[in-house]
Amino acid sequence: MKELTKGITGTSELTVSDSELAVNVGSGSLEVFATPVMVMLMEKAACSCISEYLEGDETTVGTEMNVKHISATPKNMKVCAEAELIEINGRELVFSVKAYDEAGDIGEGIHKRFLVYGEKFTAKTYSKI
């Protein structure tokens, strides 16, 4: 891995469609942006933050997500997530994450990822079966 420094950032965005609504992903009964999709967008932002620093078979896996979903977003509105690397603890990376729609903030939290080697990690996972 190339040397990481605190403060690097990444983003991810989407426009809310039927497939991102709580009623359609099983996380509620309303036609609003689903919390699990917001979490996915935050993880995607964290991945984009460090992607250019990974080398060879290196990748990261999410290990912890602690977020608040503070405002609902309707269908057809654009949502953006941002991640900032705030701590580097060996192979553990800690990100501050937030999400917002066209009207303002909708979510915030802390996300942790761990550096792994893809082939070795996948082999270990599949050794379970």
Question: What is the mean predicted confidence (pLDDT) over 24-42?
Answer: 98
* String of DSSP letters for 5-58: -TT-EEEEEEE--GGGBHHHHTS-SSSSB-HHHHHHHHHHHHHHHHGGG--TTE
pLDDT tens digits for 71-113?
999 999 999 999 999 999 999 999 999 999 999 999 999 999 9
Residue 102 tokens, joined: 């066209």
Each residue of 39-73: b (16+ CB within 10 Å) or e? bbbbbbbbbbbbeebbeeeebbebeebebebeebb
User: Quick one: pLDDT at residue 1?
Assistant: 85
Residue 58 tokens, joined: 């290196």
Three-class SS state of 91:
coil
pLDDT tens digits for 35-62?
999 999 999 999 999 999 999 999 999 9
Pairing of strands 104-117, 58-69: antiparallel
User: Quick one: pLDDT at residue 79?
Assistant: 98
9-126 maps to which CATH number? 3.10.129.10
